[in-house]
Structures are given as C-alpha cells and as structure tokens.
C-alpha cells in the first residue's frame, strides 16, 4: 500500500459509516483545493479497493455513492 493509499484509508477509518464527499477526502489528504473533474482520488480509491476488497468490482468496504462521494462500511 502506498503512503497516499494508507493516508486515505486512515481518513476513512476516522469517519466510519459516514458519507464523505470526494472534495472533502481530496482536500484532507492532498491539502489543496479539489478541481472538478480531477480523477486522482478515483484512481487511488480504485487501487485501494484492489488491495482491500475480495471483489474490487463489487466493493463491500468502500462504497461509492454516485454524485455524492464515498463511505467505508464497518
């Protein structure tokens, strides 16, 4: 797991079962403003899922809420 993936995971674990807008996750982990359309966070979450999820294409831990953000279900 990369440092950034670990950082994102720890952020999720500090906010279990909460819906987190992607802008909030990005700004908390990169310490800069989110730019609409940026795919950086999406790529990091996809790679994090590949390491955590049994079936990354049908995630059970890191849930995507389309148009809203993400939630880690614990």
What is the CATH classification number for the domain harbouring 38? 1.10.10.10
pLDDT tens string for the chain (74 positions)? 999 999 999 999 999 999 999 999 999 999 999 999 999 999 999 999 999 999 999 999 999 999 999 999 98
Contact (Cβ atoms closer than 8 angstroms) between residue 72 and residue 16: yes
Query: Token pair of 32, please?
Result: 């800069």
Domain region containing 57: 3-72
User: What pLDDT score was predicted for residue 29?
Assistant: 97
How many domains does the chain divide into? 1
Q: How far is Cα 27 from Cα 38, in angstroms, rounded to an integer?
A: 12
Contacts (Cβ under 8 Å, ≥6 apart) of 25: 8, 11, 12, 41, 69, 70
User: What pLDDT score was predicted for residue 30?
Assistant: 97
């Amino acid at each position: 797991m990369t440092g950034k993936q670990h950082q994102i995971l720890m952020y999720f674990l500090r906010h279990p079962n909460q819906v987190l807008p992607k802008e909030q996750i990005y700004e908390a982990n990169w310490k800069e403003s989110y730019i609409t359309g940026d795919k950086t966070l999406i790529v990091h979450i996809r790679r994090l899922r590949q390491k955590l999820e049994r079936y990354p294409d049908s995630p059970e831990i890191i849930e995507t809420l389309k148009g809203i953000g993400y939630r880690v279900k614990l």
